[in-house]
Amino acid sequence: MILGLNYLRTINKILIERWKGMKLENLTFKGGVHVPHNKEMTEKKALEYAKEPSIVYIPLHQHTGAPCEPLVKVGDNVKVGQKIGESQAFVSAPIHSSVSGTVKNITTITTPTGINAKCVVIESDGANQMDEGIQPKGSLDNLSSKEIIQIIKESGITGMGGAGFPTHVKLSPPPDKKIDTVIINGAECEPFLTSDHRIMLEMPEKVVFGLKAIMKALNVERGFIGIENNKMDAVDALKAVIKDEDNINIVTLKTKYPQGDEKRLINAVTGRMVPSGGLPMDVSCVVNNVSTAKAIAEAILEGKPVYERVVTVTGNGVNEPKNLIVKIGTPFQEVIDQAGGFNGAPGKVIMGGPMMGLSQFTTDVPVIKGSGGILVLTEEEALAEKVSPCIKCGKCLEACPVFLQPLYISAYALKSNLQGAERYGALDCVECGSCSFVCPAKRPLVESIRFAKREILAKRKKS
């Protein structure tokens, strides 16, 4: 027993030595594109609380996994942070109320991610009465790994970079997958978005606390925070917080899209390559977003579940771009109004950034846990450009971070030749959109590959 412990300590020491010698600056990956940042609109704007919404529309399916069932009925009184939706499935995350008030309706809406989900409509009483359950959970030293994961689960924390995968599932790898590295994703490579940047700058200690909690939950001794080098102020802020930490390192990354893709991030930071079709845990890594780490810190330090989040409201289509702390369930339109409203007729309203964000049919959709940004493009910016034939320039091959040949997958996809698309690796596509971005012929490359992926997977399910 003691021998075993010593053995582990020795390995740990070797590992610590090794990564201390590792390069931690200006790391990157192969492929990708340089996109215009457009972050100057909001990067210097401090976080501010959005106005209290009078009515919130809280979908019961904001995550990857099983939808929640409502725990409240029409007419019930609820408090801030009270659990209002839950599922018995393991891959799911509970939903909490963001206001105190009365449940007016339980209906079905289309969420900004395009899912039809049950939705709890709550009229706020404006008092913001907190749920009694919201209490600090104690210090990390007194919490076990299991307890931390339980707190994360109960707080409804999901991947807040946009993926929406329940965090407690990520932190519960099967026993045969040994995790040795935790990486906090502070790349924020999407143009326009600055929510993670502001969190790192204004609450660096929460980000680091979240990382430590994840490391403790996974029993891992090695943590990194990866940040693109266009946010050096955030790097400095975090470095000041970790100066006494031996196990945590800040890694600066070259500013290149899609550096924030978790497989690219793992590759840049550790040199490891997640196998095709695999997950980060296959190379002993767990990656979590900055906003997720902050949410974990708040869940433990304050007992606060996810009922609000930082949203960057930006783009040339709004008058006063801002970084707002918005309650989950607030309609997009209200958030846009607080950023000075539309600047002229809006062209596109996008949840997320311009590279992978989801364009919305209407602004009558609520902010959900994964809404890191609301981007409004003007009509002129949003109009589709004329598509011309592929000239085989090969720029998409250079841009693809997965080393695919987007022009050929797309050609097969557009002819509905799914076998051809699959043979050229359609399922390995991470849908980052770099190929479509660079294409001089403005061809719908990732758009058609995305279609092929969906069709291939749907066919597999059937057979």
Partner 1 sequence: MEGKVLNTTKTDSVVPDHMLIVSSSPHLRSNESVKKIMLDVVIALIPAIIGAVYFFGLNALKLILISVASAIFFEAAIQKLLKKEVSISDYSAVITGILLAFNLPANAPWWIPVFGSGFAIIIVKQLFGGLGSNFMNPALAARAVLLASWPNIMSNYVLPGADAVTGATPLAIMKFGGADAGASATVAQAGAELPALMDMFIGNIGGAIGETSAALLLIGAVYLMIRKVINWKTPVFYVATTAIMLLVLGVEADQLMYHILGGGLILGAFFMATDYASAPVTSLGQIIFGLGAGALTALIRVKGGFPEGVSYSILLMNVASPLIEKFTSPKIFGRAK
Q: Does 167 bind partner 1 (CB under 8 A)?
A: no
Comparing CB distances to partner 1, the nearer of 95 and 217 is 95
Taking residues 53 to 82 in sequence order and writing x for each that binds partner 1 by CB under 8 A, - otherwise, the string is --x-x-------------------------
Only segment of 10-18, 144-152, 289-297, 385-393 that touches partner 1 (CB under 8 A): 385-393
By the rule CB under 8 A, 388 interacts with partner 1: yes
Q: Using only C-alpha atoms, what is the Rg of the chain?
A: 22
Report which of 223, 280, 261, 287 is spatially closest to residue 429, judged by C-alpha positions: 261
Question: What is the closest distance, in whole angstroms, from the C-beta atom of residue 66 to partner 1 in the complex?
Answer: 19
Rounded CA-CA distance 442/310 in Å is: 33
Smallest CA-to-CA distance from 200 within 72, 296, 293, 101 is with 293
For partner 1, the closer of residues 138 and 344 by Cβ is 344
Candidate list 126, 133, 340, 440; residue touching partner 1; CB under 8 A: 440
The reply on whether position 274 binds partner 1 by CB under 8 A is yes
Residues 303-332 that bind partner 1 (CB under 8 A): 331
Torsion of CA 389, 391, 397, 399, to 10 degrees: -80
Question: Token pair for residue 149?
Answer: 């994961």
Which listed residue (26, 144, 276, 416) binds partner 1 by CB under 8 A?
276
Nearer to partner 1, 234 or 349 (CB): 349
Strand order in the sheet with 358-359: 48-49, 322-327, 308-314, 373-378, 346-351, 358-359
Binding segment for partner 1 (CB under 8 A), chosen from 67-75, 80-88, 105-113, 220-228, is 105-113
Q: What is the DSSP string of 56-87?
A: EEEES--SSSPPPEES--TT-EE-BT-EEEE-
The yes or no reply on residue 246 touching partner 1 (CB under 8 A) is no
Size of the site for partner 1 (CB under 8 A): 80
Rule CB under 8 A: which of 397-416 touch partner 1?
397, 401-405, 407
Is 301 a binding residue for partner 1 by CB under 8 A? The answer is: no
Residue ranges in 205-244 that form contacts with partner 1 under rule CB under 8 A: none
Q: In a 3-state reduction of DSSP, which class is residue 288?
A: strand
User: Of 5-13, 134-142, 233-241, 396-404, which part binds partner 1 (CB under 8 A)?
Assistant: 396-404
What 3-state DSSP class applies to 438?
A: helix
Handedness of CA 150, 132, 158, 294 (dihedral sign): negative
User: Which three-class secondary structure state does DSSP give residue 164?
Assistant: coil
130 or 420: CB nearest partner 1 = 420
